[in-house]
Amino acid sequence: MNSPVPCLQDGFTRPLGNLENFFKLLAKKGKPLKREHWTVHLALCLQFPGIIADPVPYLRRAWQVLRLQHPTLGATLQSSNDIAQPAPSRLIAGPLNLGDWANQTFVVYDEVACADQLFPNLLSTPTATCYWLPKSSELVIKSSHRRTDGVGMALLGRHFMLALSGTIRSGHDCPLEVLVPNIGKEPSVPQASSITTIEVSTACRNRGIKVTSAVHAAIVRVTANFPQHPLSKSYTAFVPVDLRLATARTAASDAKIVSEATGVYFSGLPLCISSVLPEDGKPREEFEAIARELGAVYARDLNHFWTPPGSAGQTISLLDLVEPYVR
């Protein structure tokens, strides 16, 4: 049985930003079905040492640590009901009792076979949630997109694994202060990685291309194999751009911003790759050429992103463009 945990944190409140409000509007599309549009999920397949007969207390404790590190995970949305004078939506989190919060947001599904079976059955929830599936040994974290983005969810997964490794090492009943890592002093995590992942990253490195560019290039090539409109000539998409590194360069504490897992720290920029489809009997562009073209887009300097006409070479940071662009 988990010992009671006292209130460890005062509440907070803040208004939603422009991009958060955008995703809030998108999420409403699923309300009639009790779903949330553009929800972000992460599934982790875990293996535990043989000495741990029941991993649930360790997983639950790691989830509590994650909540302490990222208070927004437990914040709920409050919208104005006054139609005449609507107030901006706000995130609100009351004083925290970690035991109660874990009881409400950490769920064990003994009968669900795997994460793929769980995904279509999850309804919308007011906060982020965590699910343990003993049959497949999978842990699923689910969050609204207005609360985090794809990179943020990957960081949440990393922070969860750090918390879990600390919990296994120190015990699930040890003081929380021991389990919450200090900045720059993160505990070690298991380093075993998928052989396939290693092979892909090694192949990309040998060819001088980034894994991100290679994955996107594969998507482009696969998409081009499907039937297209007769006028189609190019691949176009909006590329999500992670703003954390650009933000860190203008902040006093780089480490805190770069590792921030909650919050929406990205923007979407238009991308066009030409010569993807065969034209007049000419072969389409090769995979590596597409990957390098994508790499050039991803490698743009976000702090010197745009040179306005007639600006005498003075550049504008993407950070200065995000707010008016979203509006």
User: Tens digit of pLDDT for each residue in 53-68?
Assistant: 999 999 999 999 999 9
Give the pLDDT score at 127.
93
Compute the distance between CA of residue 22 and CA of residue 323 in angstroms, rounded to an integer.
12
pLDDT grade for 1, boundaries at 50, 70 and 90: very low
Give the pLDDT score at 10.
65
Query: Is pLDDT larger for residue 118 or for residue 266?
Result: 118
Query: Is pLDDT larger for residue 207 or for residue 19?
Result: 207
Compute the distance between CA of residue 111 and CA of residue 104 in angstroms, rounded to an integer.
19
**Stretch 169-173: mean pLDDT:** 90
Could you tell me which residues come within 8 angstroms of residue 142 by beta carbon, excluding any fewer than 6 positions away?
39, 40, 41, 42, 122, 125, 128, 129, 130, 131
Indicate where the chain has its CATH 3.30.559.10 domain(s): 7-192
CA distances, 211 to each of 54, 191, 218, 221, 284 (Å): 37, 19, 11, 15, 21
* Least confident residue range of 44-53, 166-175, 283-292: 283-292
**Stretch 21-46: mean pLDDT:** 86
Query: Is pLDDT larger for residue 311 or for residue 170?
Result: 170
The mean predicted confidence, pLDDT, of the chain is 83
* CATH superfamily assigned to domain 7-192: Chloramphenicol acetyltransferase-like domain (3.30.559.10)
- 322 neighbors 243 (Cβ within 8 angstroms): yes
15 pLDDT above the threshold of 80: yes
Element (DSSP H or E) covering residue 12: strand 12-15
